[in-house]
Structure 1
Amino acid sequence: MQPKTHILVVDDDEEIRLLLDEYLSKSGFQVTTAEDGVEMELFIKAKGYPDLILLDVMLPGDDGFTLCQRVRRDSQVPIIMLTAVSDETDQIIGLEIGADDYIAKPFSPRQLMARIKALLRRAHIHEDRDEQPPRTIDFGDWRLDTLSQRMVNRVTNRHHDLSGSDFALLMLFLSKPNEVLDRDTISFATRGREALPFERGIDVQLSRIRNRLGKSTEFPHYIKTMRGNGYILSVAVEYGY
Protein backbone atom coordinates (compact mmCIF):
# COMPACT_ATOMS: atom_id res chain seq x y z
CA MET A 1 0.00 0.00 0.00
CA GLN A 2 1.34 3.41 -0.97
CA PRO A 3 1.99 5.62 2.09
CA LYS A 4 -0.23 8.64 2.55
CA THR A 5 1.06 12.06 1.59
CA HIS A 6 2.23 13.76 4.77
CA ILE A 7 1.33 17.40 5.48
CA LEU A 8 2.80 19.37 8.40
CA VAL A 9 0.53 22.19 9.65
CA VAL A 10 2.32 24.90 11.66
CA ASP A 11 -0.07 27.42 13.27
CA ASP A 12 -0.38 28.77 16.80
CA ASP A 13 -4.19 28.90 16.56
CA GLU A 14 -5.43 25.63 18.06
CA GLU A 15 -8.82 25.87 16.35
CA ILE A 16 -7.20 26.20 12.92
CA ARG A 17 -4.88 23.27 13.65
CA LEU A 18 -7.80 21.07 14.67
CA LEU A 19 -9.92 22.06 11.68
CA LEU A 20 -7.10 21.49 9.19
CA ASP A 21 -6.16 18.21 10.84
CA GLU A 22 -9.74 16.95 10.54
CA TYR A 23 -10.33 18.21 7.01
CA LEU A 24 -7.03 17.05 5.53
CA SER A 25 -7.21 13.68 7.29
CA LYS A 26 -10.69 13.06 5.86
CA SER A 27 -9.27 13.96 2.44
CA GLY A 28 -6.77 11.12 2.71
CA PHE A 29 -3.64 12.88 3.96
CA GLN A 30 -1.47 12.04 6.93
CA VAL A 31 -1.38 15.18 9.08
CA THR A 32 0.98 16.37 11.79
CA THR A 33 0.41 19.69 13.58
CA ALA A 34 2.79 22.03 15.40
CA GLU A 35 1.99 25.22 17.29
CA ASP A 36 5.35 26.94 16.76
CA GLY A 37 8.79 26.65 15.23
CA VAL A 38 10.16 24.63 18.13
CA GLU A 39 7.62 21.84 17.62
CA MET A 40 8.07 22.05 13.86
CA GLU A 41 11.84 21.64 14.03
CA LEU A 42 11.61 18.84 16.62
CA PHE A 43 9.34 16.94 14.26
CA ILE A 44 11.63 17.47 11.26
CA LYS A 45 14.67 16.40 13.27
CA ALA A 46 12.92 13.21 14.39
CA LYS A 47 10.97 12.28 11.25
CA GLY A 48 12.50 14.22 8.38
CA TYR A 49 10.71 16.58 6.03
CA PRO A 50 7.04 15.96 5.18
CA ASP A 51 5.63 16.13 1.65
CA LEU A 52 4.22 19.64 2.16
CA ILE A 53 4.22 22.31 4.88
CA LEU A 54 1.41 24.75 5.69
CA LEU A 55 3.23 27.51 7.55
CA ASP A 56 1.61 30.45 9.32
CA VAL A 57 3.47 33.76 9.13
CA MET A 58 2.55 35.04 12.60
CA LEU A 59 3.96 32.57 15.13
CA PRO A 60 5.29 32.98 18.66
CA GLY A 61 9.07 32.92 18.76
CA ASP A 62 10.54 32.54 15.28
CA ASP A 63 8.03 33.70 12.67
CA GLY A 64 7.08 31.83 9.52
CA PHE A 65 9.57 33.77 7.38
CA THR A 66 12.49 32.70 9.56
CA LEU A 67 11.33 29.09 9.57
CA CYS A 68 10.83 29.08 5.81
CA GLN A 69 14.40 30.30 5.30
CA ARG A 70 15.74 27.54 7.55
CA VAL A 71 13.82 24.87 5.67
CA ARG A 72 15.13 26.17 2.35
CA ARG A 73 18.73 25.66 3.47
CA ASP A 74 18.19 21.90 3.39
CA SER A 75 14.99 21.06 1.51
CA GLN A 76 12.81 22.04 -1.43
CA VAL A 77 9.65 20.66 0.21
CA PRO A 78 6.59 22.61 -1.03
CA ILE A 79 5.61 25.39 1.40
CA ILE A 80 2.32 27.28 1.47
CA MET A 81 2.40 30.36 3.68
CA LEU A 82 -0.75 31.31 5.63
CA THR A 83 -0.93 35.10 5.60
CA ALA A 84 -3.16 37.95 6.77
CA VAL A 85 -5.86 38.70 4.22
CA SER A 86 -4.87 42.31 3.51
CA ASP A 87 -1.10 42.12 3.92
CA GLU A 88 0.45 41.92 0.46
CA THR A 89 3.86 42.53 2.03
CA ASP A 90 3.69 39.18 3.84
CA GLN A 91 2.83 37.44 0.59
CA ILE A 92 5.70 39.03 -1.34
CA ILE A 93 8.26 38.38 1.40
CA GLY A 94 7.17 34.75 1.63
CA LEU A 95 7.67 34.21 -2.10
CA GLU A 96 11.00 36.05 -2.06
CA ILE A 97 12.45 33.74 0.59
CA GLY A 98 11.36 30.55 -1.15
CA ALA A 99 7.72 29.78 -0.32
CA ASP A 100 5.85 28.15 -3.20
CA ASP A 101 2.47 29.77 -2.67
CA TYR A 102 0.40 31.66 -0.11
CA ILE A 103 -3.20 31.69 0.96
CA ALA A 104 -4.83 34.51 2.88
CA LYS A 105 -6.87 33.97 6.02
CA PRO A 106 -9.75 33.35 6.24
CA PHE A 107 -9.74 30.78 3.45
CA SER A 108 -12.18 28.12 2.32
CA PRO A 109 -11.16 24.44 2.66
CA ARG A 110 -11.83 23.89 -1.05
CA GLN A 111 -9.52 26.76 -1.99
CA LEU A 112 -6.79 25.40 0.24
CA MET A 113 -7.22 21.88 -1.15
CA ALA A 114 -6.87 23.19 -4.71
CA ARG A 115 -3.57 24.88 -3.79
CA ILE A 116 -2.28 21.76 -2.03
CA LYS A 117 -3.14 19.44 -4.91
CA ALA A 118 -1.56 21.78 -7.44
CA LEU A 119 1.73 21.86 -5.54
CA LEU A 120 1.73 18.11 -4.95
CA ARG A 121 1.12 17.44 -8.64
CA ARG A 122 3.99 19.71 -9.51
CA ALA A 123 6.21 17.99 -6.99
CA HIS A 124 5.37 14.65 -8.72
CA ILE A 125 4.09 13.14 -5.48
CA HIS A 126 0.82 11.92 -7.01
CA GLU A 127 1.77 12.02 -10.65
CA ASP A 128 2.97 9.13 -12.79
CA ARG A 129 4.79 10.42 -15.84
CA ASP A 130 4.97 8.40 -19.07
CA GLU A 131 7.85 10.44 -20.43
CA GLN A 132 11.17 10.60 -18.66
CA PRO A 133 12.21 14.25 -18.26
CA PRO A 134 15.69 15.21 -19.48
CA ARG A 135 18.42 14.67 -16.88
CA THR A 136 20.13 17.95 -17.75
CA ILE A 137 19.15 21.03 -19.74
CA ASP A 138 21.75 23.41 -21.19
CA PHE A 139 20.81 27.00 -22.01
CA GLY A 140 23.17 29.91 -22.46
CA ASP A 141 25.93 29.67 -19.85
CA TRP A 142 23.82 27.47 -17.60
CA ARG A 143 23.12 23.78 -17.04
CA LEU A 144 20.07 22.68 -15.03
CA ASP A 145 20.14 19.33 -13.25
CA THR A 146 16.48 18.33 -13.18
CA LEU A 147 16.90 15.74 -10.42
CA SER A 148 18.70 17.92 -7.88
CA GLN A 149 16.94 21.09 -9.12
CA ARG A 150 20.34 22.81 -9.18
CA MET A 151 21.50 25.14 -11.94
CA VAL A 152 25.24 25.54 -12.51
CA ASN A 153 26.99 28.21 -14.54
CA ARG A 154 29.30 26.34 -16.90
CA VAL A 155 31.66 29.32 -17.15
CA THR A 156 31.99 30.48 -13.53
CA ASN A 157 30.83 27.26 -11.77
CA ARG A 158 28.40 29.38 -9.72
CA HIS A 159 25.36 27.39 -8.69
CA HIS A 160 21.85 27.90 -7.30
CA ASP A 161 19.49 25.38 -5.71
CA LEU A 162 15.96 26.17 -6.82
CA SER A 163 12.80 26.07 -4.73
CA GLY A 164 9.90 24.04 -6.09
CA SER A 165 8.08 27.02 -7.59
CA ASP A 166 11.25 28.53 -9.11
CA PHE A 167 12.17 25.15 -10.62
CA ALA A 168 8.65 24.82 -12.09
CA LEU A 169 8.88 28.33 -13.55
CA LEU A 170 12.29 27.76 -15.11
CA MET A 171 11.22 24.36 -16.48
CA LEU A 172 8.20 26.02 -18.08
CA PHE A 173 10.41 28.47 -19.97
CA LEU A 174 12.91 25.73 -20.88
CA SER A 175 10.12 23.56 -22.28
CA LYS A 176 8.91 26.43 -24.48
CA PRO A 177 11.99 28.40 -25.61
CA ASN A 178 11.35 31.41 -27.83
CA GLU A 179 7.62 31.17 -27.08
CA VAL A 180 5.73 34.01 -25.40
CA LEU A 181 4.16 32.91 -22.09
CA ASP A 182 1.43 35.03 -20.52
CA ARG A 183 0.85 35.47 -16.79
CA ASP A 184 -1.99 32.93 -16.57
CA THR A 185 0.17 30.26 -18.21
CA ILE A 186 2.95 30.97 -15.72
CA SER A 187 0.57 30.96 -12.75
CA PHE A 188 -0.97 27.63 -13.80
CA ALA A 189 2.48 26.05 -14.08
CA THR A 190 3.74 27.31 -10.71
CA ARG A 191 0.53 27.49 -8.65
CA GLY A 192 -2.10 25.48 -10.47
CA ARG A 193 -4.44 28.44 -10.94
CA GLU A 194 -4.94 31.62 -12.98
CA ALA A 195 -3.08 34.74 -11.97
CA LEU A 196 -5.08 36.88 -9.56
CA PRO A 197 -5.72 40.56 -10.39
CA PHE A 198 -2.77 42.73 -9.31
CA GLU A 199 -0.91 39.67 -8.01
CA ARG A 200 2.78 40.40 -7.42
CA GLY A 201 3.96 36.83 -6.91
CA ILE A 202 4.82 36.20 -10.57
CA ASP A 203 6.85 39.42 -10.72
CA VAL A 204 8.76 38.37 -7.59
CA GLN A 205 9.55 34.95 -9.05
CA LEU A 206 10.59 36.29 -12.43
CA SER A 207 12.83 38.86 -10.78
CA ARG A 208 14.46 36.17 -8.63
CA ILE A 209 15.08 33.88 -11.62
CA ARG A 210 16.49 36.75 -13.69
CA ASN A 211 18.83 37.78 -10.88
CA ARG A 212 20.12 34.22 -10.58
CA LEU A 213 20.67 33.89 -14.30
CA GLY A 214 22.46 37.24 -14.46
CA LYS A 215 23.88 38.31 -17.80
CA SER A 216 27.00 37.99 -19.90
CA THR A 217 28.30 39.56 -23.09
CA GLU A 218 26.91 36.71 -25.15
CA PHE A 219 23.68 36.38 -23.16
CA PRO A 220 22.59 39.84 -21.93
CA HIS A 221 18.94 38.83 -21.53
CA TYR A 222 17.68 35.33 -20.85
CA ILE A 223 14.01 36.14 -20.15
CA LYS A 224 12.65 39.13 -22.03
CA THR A 225 9.46 41.04 -21.26
CA MET A 226 7.09 41.31 -24.22
CA ARG A 227 5.06 44.28 -23.07
CA GLY A 228 1.35 43.54 -22.97
CA ASN A 229 1.86 39.91 -23.99
CA GLY A 230 4.07 38.12 -21.48
CA TYR A 231 7.62 36.82 -21.29
CA ILE A 232 9.96 34.80 -23.50
CA LEU A 233 13.12 32.75 -22.96
CA SER A 234 15.34 33.97 -25.78
CA VAL A 235 18.18 31.40 -25.82
CA ALA A 236 18.64 27.98 -27.41
CA VAL A 237 17.94 24.95 -25.24
CA GLU A 238 19.60 21.52 -25.39
CA TYR A 239 18.34 18.44 -23.49
CA GLY A 240 20.56 15.69 -22.12
CA TYR A 241 19.24 12.23 -21.18
Structure 2
Amino acid sequence: MSTERLLIIDDDRDLCDLLKAYLSHEGYRVDACHSAEQALELVGDGSGWDLLVLDIQMPGASGLELLQQLRPRVQTPVIMLTGRGDEIDRILGLEMGADDYLGKPCNPRELLARVRAVLRRSALKEQPAEKSLFPEQPVEAFGIRLDPGSREVLVGSEAVELTSAEFNVLAYLMNSAGTVMSKEQLTELVLHRKLTAYDRALDVHVSRVRQKLAALLEQELIKTVRGQGYQFLKGKA
Protein backbone atom coordinates (compact mmCIF):
# COMPACT_ATOMS: atom_id res chain seq x y z
CA MET A 1 0.00 0.00 0.00
CA SER A 2 1.40 3.39 -1.03
CA THR A 3 1.56 6.21 1.50
CA GLU A 4 1.84 9.06 -1.04
CA ARG A 5 -0.81 11.77 -0.87
CA LEU A 6 -2.12 13.25 -4.11
CA LEU A 7 -4.27 16.34 -4.61
CA ILE A 8 -6.34 16.73 -7.79
CA ILE A 9 -7.25 20.35 -8.60
CA ASP A 10 -9.90 20.47 -11.33
CA ASP A 11 -13.33 22.09 -11.67
CA ASP A 12 -14.65 18.97 -13.46
CA ARG A 13 -16.12 17.12 -10.49
CA ASP A 14 -16.98 13.98 -12.47
CA LEU A 15 -13.40 13.68 -13.69
CA CYS A 16 -12.11 14.24 -10.16
CA ASP A 17 -14.34 11.44 -8.86
CA LEU A 18 -13.14 9.10 -11.64
CA LEU A 19 -9.44 9.82 -11.11
CA LYS A 20 -9.78 9.74 -7.33
CA ALA A 21 -11.42 6.30 -7.43
CA TYR A 22 -8.84 4.92 -9.87
CA LEU A 23 -5.76 6.27 -8.08
CA SER A 24 -7.14 5.29 -4.66
CA HIS A 25 -7.61 1.75 -5.94
CA GLU A 26 -3.90 1.80 -6.83
CA GLY A 27 -3.03 2.58 -3.22
CA TYR A 28 -2.64 6.35 -3.21
CA ARG A 29 -4.35 8.63 -0.73
CA VAL A 30 -6.23 11.07 -2.95
CA ASP A 31 -8.15 14.26 -2.30
CA ALA A 32 -9.69 16.75 -4.71
CA CYS A 33 -10.65 20.41 -4.83
CA HIS A 34 -12.24 22.44 -7.58
CA SER A 35 -10.66 25.89 -7.72
CA ALA A 36 -7.30 27.61 -7.39
CA GLU A 37 -8.57 29.44 -4.32
CA GLN A 38 -9.46 26.18 -2.54
CA ALA A 39 -6.11 24.71 -3.56
CA LEU A 40 -4.15 27.60 -2.02
CA GLU A 41 -5.89 27.00 1.31
CA LEU A 42 -5.26 23.26 1.19
CA VAL A 43 -1.69 23.23 -0.06
CA GLY A 44 -0.23 25.74 2.41
CA ASP A 45 3.51 25.17 2.37
CA GLY A 46 3.11 21.98 0.34
CA SER A 47 4.39 19.66 3.06
CA GLY A 48 1.17 17.65 3.26
CA TRP A 49 1.22 16.49 -0.38
CA ASP A 50 3.53 14.36 -2.46
CA LEU A 51 2.12 15.38 -5.85
CA LEU A 52 -0.44 17.80 -7.32
CA VAL A 53 -2.53 17.07 -10.43
CA LEU A 54 -3.49 20.50 -11.73
CA ASP A 55 -5.97 21.51 -14.43
CA ILE A 56 -4.72 24.54 -16.36
CA GLN A 57 -8.14 25.82 -17.48
CA MET A 58 -10.34 26.62 -14.48
CA PRO A 59 -12.85 29.41 -13.85
CA GLY A 60 -11.55 32.22 -11.66
CA ALA A 61 -7.80 32.00 -11.16
CA SER A 62 -6.30 29.66 -13.74
CA GLY A 63 -4.01 26.72 -13.07
CA LEU A 64 -1.10 28.74 -14.46
CA GLU A 65 -1.80 31.55 -11.98
CA LEU A 66 -1.99 29.00 -9.18
CA LEU A 67 1.31 27.43 -10.24
CA GLN A 68 2.97 30.86 -10.33
CA GLN A 69 1.83 31.56 -6.77
CA LEU A 70 2.87 28.16 -5.44
CA ARG A 71 6.26 27.68 -7.01
CA PRO A 72 8.46 30.10 -5.05
CA ARG A 73 7.64 28.36 -1.77
CA VAL A 74 6.21 24.96 -2.69
CA GLN A 75 8.38 22.37 -4.47
CA THR A 76 5.75 19.61 -4.54
CA PRO A 77 5.80 17.89 -7.97
CA VAL A 78 3.03 19.01 -10.34
CA ILE A 79 1.40 17.22 -13.29
CA MET A 80 -0.68 19.57 -15.45
CA LEU A 81 -3.87 18.58 -17.22
CA THR A 82 -4.22 20.60 -20.44
CA GLY A 83 -6.51 20.81 -23.46
CA ARG A 84 -5.20 18.86 -26.44
CA GLY A 85 -4.45 21.99 -28.46
CA ASP A 86 -3.13 24.20 -25.65
CA GLU A 87 0.54 24.03 -26.60
CA ILE A 88 1.32 27.50 -25.26
CA ASP A 89 -0.21 26.62 -21.88
CA ARG A 90 1.90 23.45 -21.73
CA ILE A 91 5.08 25.39 -22.52
CA LEU A 92 4.29 28.09 -19.96
CA GLY A 93 3.44 25.51 -17.33
CA LEU A 94 6.71 23.65 -17.82
CA GLU A 95 8.64 26.94 -17.74
CA MET A 96 6.91 27.82 -14.46
CA GLY A 97 8.05 24.59 -12.87
CA ALA A 98 5.52 21.87 -13.68
CA ASP A 99 7.09 18.41 -13.84
CA ASP A 100 4.92 16.81 -16.55
CA TYR A 101 1.68 17.30 -18.45
CA LEU A 102 -1.14 15.20 -19.82
CA GLY A 103 -3.76 16.20 -22.37
CA LYS A 104 -7.48 16.07 -21.58
CA PRO A 105 -9.54 13.99 -21.75
CA CYS A 106 -6.97 11.87 -19.98
CA ASN A 107 -6.68 8.14 -19.62
CA PRO A 108 -6.50 7.24 -15.90
CA ARG A 109 -3.99 4.49 -16.65
CA GLU A 110 -1.66 6.95 -18.41
CA LEU A 111 -2.02 9.40 -15.54
CA LEU A 112 -1.09 6.62 -13.11
CA ALA A 113 2.07 5.90 -15.13
CA ARG A 114 3.02 9.58 -15.09
CA VAL A 115 2.32 9.87 -11.36
CA ARG A 116 4.63 6.94 -10.67
CA ALA A 117 7.36 8.33 -12.94
CA VAL A 118 7.25 11.84 -11.44
CA LEU A 119 7.30 10.47 -7.88
CA ARG A 120 10.31 8.29 -8.75
CA ARG A 121 12.19 11.28 -10.16
CA SER A 122 11.25 13.37 -7.15
CA ALA A 123 12.57 10.73 -4.75
CA LEU A 124 15.87 10.59 -6.63
CA LYS A 125 16.27 14.38 -6.51
CA GLU A 126 15.58 14.73 -2.80
CA GLN A 127 18.57 16.10 -0.91
CA PRO A 128 19.17 18.76 1.74
CA ALA A 129 17.77 21.96 0.26
CA GLU A 130 19.68 25.22 0.05
CA LYS A 131 18.33 28.12 2.06
CA SER A 132 15.49 29.64 0.09
CA LEU A 133 15.85 33.23 -1.10
CA PHE A 134 12.08 33.62 -0.89
CA PRO A 135 10.94 34.98 2.50
CA GLU A 136 9.17 32.59 4.85
CA GLN A 137 8.05 35.34 7.23
CA PRO A 138 6.80 38.91 6.62
CA VAL A 139 9.51 41.35 5.55
CA GLU A 140 9.43 45.06 6.44
CA ALA A 141 11.53 47.98 5.21
CA PHE A 142 10.97 51.69 4.54
CA GLY A 143 7.34 51.44 5.62
CA ILE A 144 6.66 48.50 3.28
CA ARG A 145 5.32 45.26 4.73
CA LEU A 146 5.36 42.19 2.49
CA ASP A 147 3.57 39.08 3.78
CA PRO A 148 4.45 35.88 1.84
CA GLY A 149 1.63 33.97 3.54
CA SER A 150 -1.23 36.21 2.46
CA ARG A 151 0.74 37.54 -0.53
CA GLU A 152 -0.15 41.09 0.47
CA VAL A 153 1.98 44.23 0.30
CA LEU A 154 1.17 47.27 2.41
CA VAL A 155 2.77 50.70 2.36
CA GLY A 156 1.60 52.07 5.68
CA SER A 157 -2.06 51.09 5.66
CA GLU A 158 -2.34 51.28 1.86
CA ALA A 159 -2.51 47.99 -0.07
CA VAL A 160 -0.36 47.68 -3.20
CA GLU A 161 -1.96 45.61 -5.95
CA LEU A 162 0.71 43.40 -7.54
CA THR A 163 0.52 40.53 -10.00
CA SER A 164 2.01 37.20 -8.92
CA ALA A 165 5.24 37.86 -10.82
CA GLU A 166 5.51 41.42 -9.46
CA PHE A 167 4.95 40.17 -5.91
CA ASN A 168 7.67 37.56 -6.34
CA VAL A 169 10.14 40.11 -7.76
CA LEU A 170 9.60 42.37 -4.74
CA ALA A 171 9.75 39.45 -2.30
CA TYR A 172 13.11 38.21 -3.57
CA LEU A 173 14.60 41.71 -3.69
CA MET A 174 13.36 42.73 -0.23
CA ASN A 175 14.51 39.46 1.32
CA SER A 176 17.98 40.04 -0.17
CA ALA A 177 18.11 43.77 0.63
CA GLY A 178 21.58 45.22 0.16
CA THR A 179 22.59 42.40 -2.19
CA VAL A 180 22.64 42.72 -5.96
CA MET A 181 20.53 40.02 -7.61
CA SER A 182 21.44 39.36 -11.22
CA LYS A 183 18.87 39.40 -14.01
CA GLU A 184 19.77 35.78 -14.73
CA GLN A 185 19.07 34.73 -11.15
CA LEU A 186 15.81 36.68 -10.87
CA THR A 187 14.57 35.41 -14.23
CA GLU A 188 15.07 31.81 -13.12
CA LEU A 189 13.50 32.41 -9.70
CA VAL A 190 10.51 34.48 -10.86
CA LEU A 191 9.84 33.31 -14.41
CA HIS A 192 11.26 29.78 -14.05
CA ARG A 193 13.31 29.93 -17.23
CA LYS A 194 16.75 30.99 -18.42
CA LEU A 195 17.39 34.61 -19.38
CA THR A 196 17.85 34.91 -23.14
CA ALA A 197 19.19 37.65 -25.39
CA TYR A 198 16.81 40.62 -25.78
CA ASP A 199 14.59 39.21 -23.00
CA ARG A 200 12.98 42.20 -21.30
CA ALA A 201 10.26 40.41 -19.34
CA LEU A 202 11.98 40.76 -15.96
CA ASP A 203 12.76 44.44 -16.59
CA VAL A 204 9.06 45.06 -17.27
CA HIS A 205 8.04 43.41 -13.98
CA VAL A 206 10.64 45.42 -12.03
CA SER A 207 9.52 48.65 -13.73
CA ARG A 208 5.90 48.02 -12.78
CA VAL A 209 6.83 47.32 -9.15
CA ARG A 210 8.77 50.59 -9.08
CA GLN A 211 5.83 52.52 -10.52
CA LYS A 212 3.38 51.11 -8.00
CA LEU A 213 5.68 51.82 -5.05
CA ALA A 214 6.50 55.30 -6.38
CA ALA A 215 2.82 56.22 -6.20
CA LEU A 216 3.03 55.81 -2.40
CA LEU A 217 6.68 56.50 -1.59
CA GLU A 218 9.01 59.37 -2.45
CA GLN A 219 12.20 57.31 -2.30
CA GLU A 220 13.38 55.02 -5.10
CA LEU A 221 14.10 51.71 -3.34
CA ILE A 222 15.02 49.38 -6.21
CA LYS A 223 18.36 50.31 -7.70
CA THR A 224 19.59 49.22 -11.13
CA VAL A 225 23.22 48.14 -10.97
CA ARG A 226 24.47 48.49 -14.54
CA GLY A 227 25.74 45.24 -16.01
CA GLN A 228 24.82 43.30 -12.86
CA GLY A 229 21.15 43.41 -11.93
CA TYR A 230 18.88 44.90 -9.28
CA GLN A 231 19.25 45.75 -5.61
CA PHE A 232 16.69 46.66 -2.96
CA LEU A 233 18.19 49.27 -0.63
CA LYS A 234 19.10 48.06 2.82
CA GLY A 235 17.42 50.08 5.54
CA LYS A 236 15.20 50.08 8.57
CA ALA A 237 11.61 48.85 8.68
Q: CA RMSD in A?
A: 3.5
TM (norm. structure 1) is 0.53
> What residue is the counterpart of 1:223 in the other structure?
none
Deviation, 1:47, is 7.9
> What residue is the counterpart of 2:62 in the other structure?
63
Judge conservation of contact 2:46–2:75 (CA < 8 Å) in 1.
no
CA spacing shift, 1:149–1:79, aligned 2, 3 Å: farther
> What residue is the counterpart of 2:10 in the other structure?
11
Judge conservation of contact 2:2–2:28 (CA < 8 Å) in 1.
no
Instruction: Give the whole-Å Cα distance in 2 for the aligned partners of 1:103 and 1:115.
Output: 8
Instruction: Give the whole-Å Cα distance in 1 for the aligned partners of 2:25 and 2:32.
Output: 15
CA spacing shift, 1:150–1:25, aligned 2, 3 Å: same
Deviation, 1:70, is 1.1
2:66 aligned counterpart, secondary structure:
helix
Judge conservation of contact 2:5–2:30 (CA < 8 Å) in 1.
yes
The code of the aligned residue for 1:42 comes to E
CA spacing shift, 1:31–1:151, aligned 2, 3 Å: closer
CA spacing shift, 1:93–1:41, aligned 2, 3 Å: same
The code of the aligned residue for 1:54 comes to V
> What residue is the counterpart of 1:177 in the other structure?
none
> What residue is the counterpart of 1:99 in the other structure?
98
> What residue is the counterpart of 2:110 in the other structure?
111
> What residue is the counterpart of 1:123 in the other structure?
122
Instruction: Give the whole-Å Cα distance in 2 for the aligned partners of 1:105 and 1:54.
Output: 12
Deviation, 1:3, is 7.0
> What residue is the counterpart of 2:128 in the other structure?
147
CA spacing shift, 1:120–1:47, aligned 2, 3 Å: closer
Instruction: Give the whole-Å Cα distance in 2 for the aligned partners of 1:16 and 1:72.
Output: 25
2:72 aligned counterpart, secondary structure:
helix
> What residue is the counterpart of 1:182 in the other structure?
none
> What residue is the counterpart of 1:231 in the other structure?
none
1:28 aligned counterpart, secondary structure:
coil
> What residue is the counterpart of 1:216 in the other structure?
none
Residues 112-156 of structure 1: per-residue CA shift (max 9 Å, x gap): 1111111100111xx7xxxxx9xxxxxxxxxxx95216899xxx8
Judge conservation of contact 2:53–2:81 (CA < 8 Å) in 1.
yes
The code of the aligned residue for 1:147 comes to P
CA spacing shift, 1:68–1:157, aligned 2, 3 Å: closer
Judge conservation of contact 1:150–1:160 (CA < 8 Å) in 2.
no
TM (norm. structure 2) is 0.54
CA spacing shift, 1:57–1:22, aligned 2, 3 Å: same
Judge conservation of contact 2:188–2:195 (CA < 8 Å) in 1.
no
Residues 173-216 of structure 1: per-residue CA shift (max 9 Å, x gap): xxxxxxxxxxxxxxxxxxxxxxxxxxxxxxxx9xx3576xxxxx
Residues 84-106 of structure 1: per-residue CA shift (max 9 Å, x gap): 01121111111111111110011
Q: 1:45 aligned to 2:26? A: no
Deviation, 1:45, is 3.3
The code of the aligned residue for 1:98 comes to G
Instruction: Give the whole-Å Cα distance in 2 for the aligned partners of 1:151 and 1:161.
Output: 15
Instruction: Give the whole-Å Cα distance in 2 for the aligned partners of 1:162 and 1:149.
Output: 15
How many residues of Structure 1 are paired with residues of Structure 2 in the alignment? 148
User: How many percent of aligned residue pairs carry the same amino acid?
Assistant: 35
Q: Give the stretch that moved more between structures: 36-45 or 68-77.
A: 36-45
> What residue is the counterpart of 1:228 in the other structure?
none
